[in-house]
Structure 1
């Protein structure tokens, strides 16, 4: 229990530090979201007197002339209540509504793509490490090169070849806009069809890292005493590979996978931009471009909670899987 208590305390402190940075960093950026809204209002012929400006400051939580510490206390209180304010880039929609609309797209797309690349990379890496020198082992350099290719370049190549050239997949969007959104087969199949190309980009660019890491761990694990003992007992090679070597070699990759799942909510900003995908990464970029403090803080908070939650889950699981971890603390 002492081990779990320390872990929980550490992550609570980390969450508070992340919330503080989440408050400070947007306010260090040049520009003012209130000025952006006032300019939009003036373009439409609306009133721009000081009372209107003060109303926008209160609405957006910009603070106006309030001391920074008062803004900080108000920010923490609103965060606890789940009130993230109103989005400038999607005005007058609340930040929580904007995130709720975009988050499922990113979670499904990036989450499934990350899971597929992890399973595929781990499986291929285990076989490549077990059978060193085989044809599969020779694929490691090629997949490593693909992992080093920038997202946007790979996305553009796939879009030009498979969407514009062969016209196998749609080029832009997350679904057919002529369809009504909902849990019906037409919409779900359209969303899946539009998501294949962005997901393929993520899988191709990330599978090489999992493959290389698992392959190297398998090479190290095969020389361990328990693997040699299993071979001396005459156990089948497949059983030794899966239950002895791969089971231990995959532990570092599990930690990396949990962290990757935490970053799933941030989406692949570049990939979503290339394919005009309606995910959270697109909303984050729009928030930065419009100095939308409230939306930036809301998205960063979701990302922070997801990453910290994933890491906490891994630490707790490690305490269960490996008792030596608890003993060391």
Structure 2
């Protein structure tokens, strides 16, 4: 119980600090961020209506209010789910933009991350079990893919499979010709989304599975040298049981902890990948917000990413403490 209480307290304090930093972001910008926002809004043909002024106060706080009052108001807006109005998509609320982009990122990046984790850990366990054989030759190949930048692999896949062979589309998350009005729930739309998301997902899997493979292989080799594994082998247990029950299960613990951290960053998306493929996810939304200095959208995206990362790490800490009693004993 002490372990879980300390972890919970740690994440509550971290969440408070992250939200406080998010509150300060537009106020730390050089110049008067409030005036810059209003000027850009007017240049875009926006109207400074009472509703818009209320949303400006939501982002920057009331002009005559103290910093503390603005801070309290900011927390109140968060509890009401009010993240302001986007400048680049005026007058669309930030919550709606994030809600529209979030499913794309979670589905694509989430599934690709899970696939790369399962493939990498499984292959790493098998290579570690067959250490010293030809299987070790697969490690440098996977490491090579991991060391290559995301955008380079993405550009190669686009050049080969989209431009030269014409098998897959170059950009987008779905066919704009078939669905000009936007996404609609149907089997045809699902097929289009899978078709457009194949190359981005393949980019993530190719770029990341090598890290899981190398880490699991090294942990497997180290675990096989432990006394309890040698004892199990000396007792005459089946090699498959030794590999799965004794070696793989214990060797996978560090990978599971790392998977929790990686899964938390799924919401952030693969920013470079989404930019290369013009994929409509959170990563591309964040790049557009930064380029356009859309403070409300930036704050909203950073907040969602922060909360998701902390929540994923908190859940994995609870799971890790449950499956590995040593973590609770070190507290």
* Range class of TM-score, shorter chain: over 0.9
CA distance in 2, matches of 1:53, 1:191: 35
1:87 corresponding residue in structure 2 = 86
Q: 2:296 matched to 1:294?
A: yes
How many Å separate the matches in 1 of 2:71 and 2:139? 49
Q: TM-score, normalised by structure 1?
A: 0.93
Alignment of 1:100-119 (within 5 A): 100-119=99-118
1:6 corresponds to: 6
Residue matched to 2:191 = 189
Per-residue CA distance 1:168-211 (angstroms, 9 max, x = gap): 11101000112252321100010001000000000000001000
Q: State whether structure 2 residue 30 is matched by structure 1 residue 20.
A: no
What corresponds to 1:167 in structure 2?
166
Contact 2:61 / 2:74 at 8 angstroms: preserved in 1?
Answer: no
Cα deviation code 1:263-301 (max 9, x no counterpart): 000001110010010000011011111211211111111
**What residue is the counterpart of 1:152 in the other structure?**
151
Deviates more, 1:200-209 or 1:174-183: 174-183
Partner of 2:68: 69
Q: Secondary structure at the match of 2:184?
A: coil
Q: Which residue of 1 aligns with 2:216?
A: 214
Change (3 A) 1:116 1:184: same
CA contact under 8 A between 1:170 and 1:194: conserved in structure 2?
Answer: yes
C-alpha contact (below 8 Å) 1:33/1:293 kept by paired residues: no
Provide TM-score, normalisation by structure 2: 0.92
Distance 2:100 2:47 in 1: 31
Distance 1:240-1:7 versus aligned 2 partners, 3 A rule? same
Q: 2-side partners of 1:121 and 1:295: how far apart?
A: 35
The offset of 1:48, in angstroms, is: 7.7
Q: Which residue of structure 2 aligns with residue 199 of structure 1?
A: 201
Residues 146, 210 of structure 2: 8 Å contact kept: yes
Cα distance in structure 2, aligned partners of 1:145 and 1:62: 49
| Contact 2:41 2:87 (8 Å CA) reproduced | no
2:327 corresponds, among 311, 318, 325, to: 325
8 Å CA contact retained: 2:59, 2:83: no
In the TM superposition, 1:303-322 aligns within 5 A as 303-322=305-324
Counterpart of 1:140 in structure 2 is: 139
CA drift of 1:35 comes to 3.0
CA distance in 2, matches of 1:65, 1:148: 52
| CA 1:107–1:55: 2 relative to 1, 3 Å | closer
Contact preservation (8 Å) 1:33, 1:290:
no
**C-alpha distance 326-43 of structure 1, shift in aligned 2 (>3 A):** closer
Aligned-CA RMSD value: 2.1
In 2, are the aligned partners of 1:34 and 1:57 still within 8 Å (CA)? Answer: no
Structure 2 alignment gaps of length 5 or more? none
Equivalent in 270, 284, 293 of residue 286 of structure 2: 284
